[in-house]
Amino acid sequence: MSTEADRPAPTRPAPTRPAPTRPAPTRRARARKRRGRAFGFAFAGVVGVLLVAGLAGAAASTAQGPRVTEAQVDPAAAVASSGSRLIVTTTQALAEVQPEQVVITPATPFAVDTSGRSVGIRFAHPLWDETKYTVEISGVRGLGGGPETTITQTFRTGKESFYLLQRGDEEDTIFRTDLSGDEAIPVFRHAHIEDYRATSSHLVVSVRDGEGTDPMDGTTQLLVTDLDGDDQRVLPLPGKGAVTNLQSADRGELIGYTFTDATISADGGRESMLFTASLKDPDAEPQPVEVEGADNRVVRWRFVPETDRLLFVGFDGALWLTDRTGSDAATLGTAVTLDGVAGSTAIVDRADGLLAVDLADGTEEPLPAPDSDYGQLRSVVPVPGGGTVRLYAELDDNGIPGASIVAFVADDGASSVVSRVPVTDAVIRTCVSPNGRYVATSVAPDIIDNPYDRYLLPLPERVETHIAEIATGDEVVALSAFDSSWCRVPPQ
């Protein structure tokens, strides 16, 4: 029998709490909720519309073929130098464009490349000035397929401009001018300018200070400025001496010259040694061009266009093709002199006459004979794009030289007279514009009464530059100055 003590104590049930009740939503909260749902539906709708529109646009673009969105070309640079480009950007990544798909009017050599949505046309030669060019690219197709389209772009090139040197009684001046001659601007003055060259970014000027009665007196300096004649600095030289045959390369702000020590004796001294220097480094020392086993005294030399290689004729008559260091050199036989280089072809005067030498493989062939007899050949200048400008001396019945004839001779021998200079005047030299459109003829009028000045590079005191269009023979302008920046070398 259990007792009360054995019974378990009664337990009190835990108090229960009423479940919390969520307050009824207010009118504002219900409105926010409705707006949220509406925004979500609207956003989804907009995304859908944009997606559909984008797909439709892409489909339409693909259906229409590539379309031009941008075209870039520098009309001034296209006239000044080779290698300028027309870049056309389209709406689609493009399949590779082949050269046969491109037609340029007027015709000019070119190369074509395709990258992504762009196609580039690189002009191999400078273009004619103030000329409308049309570039037509047919059969252009997107990388993913679709219909073909034809792209046509036109542009007009800028004016031709160049530099000239004028020697004076008190000072010499380098001018920049156009073909009118009315807007000549003096950009550099000095008491004694021997020569100068223009690169794409600089003027390099050979000057002499402290000149006495002997033209070898004084100190030669190479001064470098920008193309406006500002920011002048002095370029280091191999020593004290004379700089001659100053030239500049087509690319890389590279110059070269021959150097002769001020004092040469039986014990030694550098004579007509070839040096190069980069204008990109203002403190760079000039680098000698020395070919092992060669006579490195230079008679004539040239930069090979579009490269940093050099071609020179040594005192021993050997013709060498080399790099700047002289370590990668090849001999190309012998030569009396070197008239010029265009592309990979050099005009070389050998003992048996003038020849065109291919610098790529060393092969050679005679120059094309003109279809007319102009007299005695004096010099030959290659023309960019083909043909040569040749200077002749007319011969009378007794073989005596008379007037000078400047003629253009095409690669097939077809020829025409560009200008005729009377026997009373002397032709100093001819130079061709970079775009091959004009020839500049330096003329010393009344040569009998036109004495030479006292410079290391002596010239008649009065020299004019006559510029004529090669195709027509029409004279464009005559200027009282010489040494056009079109010329690759000094008067020789």
Closest-CA residue to 125 (of 349, 305, 328, 310): 305
Is 352 or 129 the better-scoring residue by pLDDT?
Answer: 129
| pLDDT over 80 at 282, yes or no | no
Q: How far is CA 242 from CA 144, 237, 259, 270, in A?
A: 64, 10, 6, 10
Cα distance between residue 422 and residue 3, in whole Å: 158
**Mean pLDDT of all residues in 294-321:** 92
| pLDDT over 60 at 168, yes or no | yes
| pLDDT over 60 at 109, yes or no | yes
Q: In this structure, are residues 327 and 343 in contact, taking their beta carbons and an 8 Å threshold? A: no
Residue 300, pLDDT score: 94
Q: Average model confidence (pLDDT) for the chain? A: 86
**Mean pLDDT of all residues in 97-105:** 97
Cα distance between residue 328 and residue 313, in whole Å: 16
Q: Is the peptide bond before 288 cis (omega within 30 degrees of 0)?
A: no
What is the pLDDT confidence band of residue 410, given thresholds at 50, 70 and 90? very high
Is 30 or 231 the better-scoring residue by pLDDT?
Answer: 231
309-349 pLDDT, tens digit per residue, is 999 999 999 999 999 988 889 999 999 989 888 888 899 99
355-378 pLDDT, tens digit per residue, is 999 998 889 999 999 999 999 999
Residue 264, pLDDT score: 81
Q: In this structure, are residues 315 and 300 in contact, taking their beta carbons and an 8 Å threshold? A: no
Residue 43, pLDDT score: 45
| pLDDT over 60 at 76, yes or no | yes
What is the pLDDT confidence band of residue 39, given thresholds at 50, 70 and 90? very low
| pLDDT over 70 at 31, yes or no | no
- Radius of gyration of the CA atoms of the chain, in A: 37
44-58 pLDDT, tens digit per residue, is 444 444 444 444 444
Tokens of 191: 């008491």
Percent of the chain with pLDDT over 90: 67
| pLDDT over 60 at 211, yes or no | no
Lowest mean pLDDT among 2-6, 37-41, 411-415, 482-486: 2-6
Residue 20, pLDDT score: 43
